[in-house]
């Protein structure tokens, strides 16, 4: 799964603020959920056509196994589609740093005061934003060999904010 992860970095000024900087890292998704649904429907139609022809030809056990195969594939593709839009977003403003991450449609957000925020590297290789007791992790969708470079860029943006 780690080979499928890649970072996408967006730099910009959100919400009309000329001083804010945004880093957005997201999962490298080669097919959208809508395309995936189209693929699954076409695959299901072809599989059921073949199973129907086998049923007519007397091979009655092909149809239940085809249904089982399609059910298992549907579960696997659903798990993929749920995580296709996973992302991390870091926004540096003058007063606060906002770290937001989405996993399987659930969005979590952590706001840290800019003045007291430190950016560290965690033992597992993720980047840690820490201010007092508040902690947020980023770097899940960045290749491990690029995380240190990303941490340096984030530290520079924090100093500039």
Average pLDDT of the chain to the nearest whole number: 86
Strands 127-131 and 134-138 come out as antiparallel
pLDDT (tens digit, 9 = 90+) per residue, 45-78? 999 999 999 999 999 999 999 999 999 999 999 9
Average pLDDT over residues 25-33: 84
Torsion angles phi and psi, residue 26, rounded to 5: -140, 160
Measured CA to CA, the distance from residue 90 to residue 24 in angstroms comes to 6
Q: Token pair 């239940």 is at which residue? A: 64
CATH topology of domain 2-28+85-160: PH-domain like (2.30.29)
pTM of the model: 0.68
pLDDT (tens digit, 9 = 90+) per residue, 90-108? 999 889 999 999 988 899 9
Q: Token pair 């965690």 is at which residue? A: 122
Query: 3-state class of 88 per DSSP?
Result: strand
């Amino acid at each position: 799964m780690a080979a499928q992860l890649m970072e996408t970095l967006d730099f910009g000024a959100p919400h009309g603020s000329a001083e804010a900087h945004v880093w957005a890292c997201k999962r490298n998704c080669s097919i959208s959920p809508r395309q995936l649904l189209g693929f699954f429907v076409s695959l299901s139609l072809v599989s059921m056509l073949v199973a129907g022809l086998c049923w007519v030809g007397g091979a009655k056990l092909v149809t239940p196994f085809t249904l089982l195969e399609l059910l298992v594939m549907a579960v696997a593709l659903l798990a993929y589609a749920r995580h296709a839009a996973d992302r991390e977003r870091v926004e540096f403003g003058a007063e606060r740093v906002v770290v937001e991450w989405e996993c399987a449609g659930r969005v979590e957000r952590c706001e840290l005061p800019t003045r007291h925020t430190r950016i560290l590297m965690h033992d597992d290789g993720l980047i840690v934003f820490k201010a007092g007791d508040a902690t947020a992790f980023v770097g899940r969708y960045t290749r491990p060999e690029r995380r240190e470079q990303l941490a340096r860029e984030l530290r520079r943006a924090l100093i500039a904010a």
